[in-house]
Structure 1
């Protein structure tokens, strides 16, 4: 039986569970800003900087920690990252100082990014070269489930028992994930120890940087829309705020469907999967821009943004690993950074026309623009054959062919 038909190792699902625990922390502050603001005596915008600080920590953490831990066993690196992540949340729960909490958010995101980078390589290694996208869909699915379950659960816990309780819960989940990984991830390496020289050489491939461009632009397209969904649905669509949690839940379900489906097609048809997903995202963004004032158009468009937007994830991750060949660690780390570039740039650029007085439907146009640019990188990538990967050329052929 080929790798494509085999069930994924249980350890891959435990890695997805670890991403769920950490991803809950990434998302939950959006629902706890009023409580943090009141308890620490800072403004809501100042509390919101805790979210920005997390994004900055992730942007820097992935490549730095990928290099620092390059010669560690993957299990040792991930356990160290999870331990540090849990400790930052213990410190955050115990502090009454805004500056300390801000520092714990940066530090926690820093090691979370490192975990993402190493876990990605580990999942690919465990799953085999023919199941790259499936394995990555499980990892990214952990974050998707965090948006469906972790975000509302963390918000509810923080609102009823104090925002610190959500931090304690994340620390506890991280500790449980450590125990699971300790008993399922091999302690050594299955292959040769990575060399920084080879990792850096892999980054010279222009096709790899096109893949990073696809990652950043597609993510920016999603976040340009997602970041302003609540005010768009209340101010432009005319729905009451009570509908927002339900619509966001359907958005999350759509995202889970998209990422799971694409995980099963992207290994065989990476460029087809990307093209279909990005085209669907473009149509959804345009539908939202044009039909934001009509609920029966706007709500399905929001769900489709989640479905098609997250369907790009397995394919862009699989492309990066195929192009990196035998030097995947640093390449994966830069892809994590590319995701966070999109997370940072998308909401910022979508906010510019809003600051100028334009209505919320403009976020759909901005999302569509980013998606068109992402489609452009895919078109170019299908016509550009970069330098052959250092190894695994045969298994990478479908991802680098015209």
Structure 2
């Protein structure tokens, strides 16, 4: 029996056993608010790198290392927390994770040195992946199997709305007041999410048989590793471009600093569009959505590199790159299919993989800039990463077809 079939057999329930539509909507809202805070905190720094660099007297590429620090926190925190908290109720874990996230952002605003700021961004990133992984599992457990990707997409809506509203607004306030205000506001959003989760997410019991070793079993499955590798390699391109969007806007397209929040809004519209369309497509064709998005990213990121000096083309490409987020719900759902009974670790590790992509993209983008190739060259970095991701995707597809033939 295939992994998907096994999950459908285990998860199939009568509609009468599912929560009411209102209950599901309120739970998804609470979880999405947490995602909104996390997304705002993760992406706001990208529009404020020049301001951070000025405060701590470092270069913009050096300031970009705090993006990698946050991503490193996600990479380490997601699997470690998922395994260590295997016997913890999901609601309690969500509350703890969001409390740590809120505190980390508030303390980031108070950091006295660049080194302490770097460390606090790392700590703040620790709950990120585990939160989204557990939130996705909670949302998917409350809907029929054939609607899982859309449920995951609604939780991720908090992340995509953050790029549309939260990130541009905090960037604007950060530029006009102090960048520290951005992190204080994110901390407040985190506390609001704690309250909503406490009120709306129902109490749950620890899953029967949950254990440290069962969760680690996810890493014995080749398809889990291949799916994570697709995210880590194939989607670094979006971050390579977006990490330096502020400087690309002002130094390549020669627009004023006030245009940076506009570009962030455009990117957010693209991410929301991609999340909506990608969730729907993933429920129709999971692997088709993943593979198609990799090819799409190659084309769009190459176009970005070639046309970034034109303000209109820059805006168009920023929107189209944002649409590449269509693969997010698909990859999250794919991990649910291939992880069998190690759901928490696999789901959380998806965000580790995306933040490896974040760190890899920001690092490689910084390298090509330091080599004098310019900010627009980050698009070529992204296209190459998407191309490499296609090889990993092909390996995953081949392994799955061999498994089907054997079955």
1:66 matched to which residue of 2?
Answer: 82
Displacement of 1:270: 0.7
Q: Which moved more, 1:252-261 or 1:372-381?
A: 372-381
Contact 1:287/1:298 (8 A) holds in 2: no
Q: Secondary structure in 1 aligned to 2:141?
A: helix
TM-score scaled by length of structure 1: 0.85
Q: Secondary structure in 2 aligned to 1:126?
A: coil
Confirm whether residue 215 of structure 1 aligns to residue 215 of structure 2. no
Confirm whether residue 350 of structure 1 aligns to residue 336 of structure 2. no
Matches within 5 A, 1:219-258: 219-258=235-274
Confirm whether residue 182 of structure 1 aligns to residue 198 of structure 2. yes
Deviations 1:318-355 (A, max 9, x none): 11111112221111222221111111112222333333
Confirm whether residue 325 of structure 1 aligns to residue 340 of structure 2. yes
Deviations 1:228-279 (A, max 9, x none): 3343344444545443332331121011101111111202211121233222
1:315 matched to which residue of 2?
Answer: 330
Deviations 1:102-148 (A, max 9, x none): 44322221123332232222222233432222122223221221122
Contact 1:321/1:328 (8 A) holds in 2: yes
Evaluate the alpha carbon distance shift between residue 52 and residue 267 of structure 1 in structure 2; reply closer, same or farther with a 3 A threshold. Answer: same
Confirm whether residue 276 of structure 1 aligns to residue 292 of structure 2. yes
Query: How far apart in 2 are the matches of 1:387 and 1:132?
Result: 26
Query: How far apart in 1 are the matches of 2:135 and 2:392?
Result: 26
1:26 matched to which residue of 2?
Answer: 42
Query: How far apart in 2 are the matches of 1:91 and 1:294?
Result: 39
Query: How far apart in 2 are the matches of 1:31 and 1:10?
Result: 31
Q: Which moved more, 1:190-199 or 1:317-326?
A: 190-199
Q: 2:141 aligns with which of 95, 101, 125?
A: 125
Query: How far apart in 1 are the matches of 2:291 and 2:100?
Result: 39
Contact 1:277/1:312 (8 A) holds in 2: yes
2:377 matched to which residue of 1?
Answer: 362
Contact 2:90/2:206 (8 A) holds in 1: no
Contact 2:278/2:289 (8 A) holds in 1: yes
Name the count of aligned residue pairs: 388
Deviations 1:18-37 (A, max 9, x none): 11112222222334456656
2:151 matched to which residue of 1?
Answer: 135
Evaluate the alpha carbon distance shift between residue 166 and residue 248 of structure 1 in structure 2; reply closer, same or farther with a 3 A threshold. Answer: closer
1:384 matched to which residue of 2?
Answer: 399
Cα RMSD between the aligned structures?
A: 3.0
Displacement of 1:163: 4.1
1:340 matched to which residue of 2?
Answer: 355
Q: Which moved more, 1:13-22 or 1:69-78?
A: 13-22
1:43 matched to which residue of 2?
Answer: 58
Query: How far apart in 1 are the matches of 2:304 and 2:406?
Result: 34
Q: Which moved more, 1:116-125 or 1:16-25?
A: 116-125
Evaluate the alpha carbon distance shift between residue 386 and residue 279 of structure 1 in structure 2; reply closer, same or farther with a 3 A threshold. Answer: closer
Contact 2:267/2:319 (8 A) holds in 1: yes
Give 5+ residue unaligned stretches, structure 2.
1-13
Query: How far apart in 1 are the matches of 2:406 and 2:134?
Result: 27
Q: Which moved more, 1:205-214 or 1:30-39?
A: 30-39
Contact 1:205/1:387 (8 A) holds in 2: no
Q: Which moved more, 1:249-258 or 1:99-108?
A: 99-108
Evaluate the alpha carbon distance shift between residue 23 and residue 295 of structure 1 in structure 2; reply closer, same or farther with a 3 A threshold. Answer: closer
Displacement of 1:193: 4.5
Contact 2:248/2:375 (8 A) holds in 1: yes
Contact 2:140/2:152 (8 A) holds in 1: yes
TM-score scaled by length of structure 2: 0.84
1:391 matched to which residue of 2?
Answer: none
Evaluate the alpha carbon distance shift between residue 238 and residue 98 of structure 1 in structure 2; reply closer, same or farther with a 3 A threshold. Answer: closer
Give 5+ residue unaligned stretches, structure 1.
389-396
Displacement of 1:53: 2.3
Q: Secondary structure in 2 aligned to 1:263?
A: helix
Query: How far apart in 2 are the matches of 1:203 and 1:160?
Result: 46
Q: 2:72 aligns with which of 56, 59, 75?
A: 56
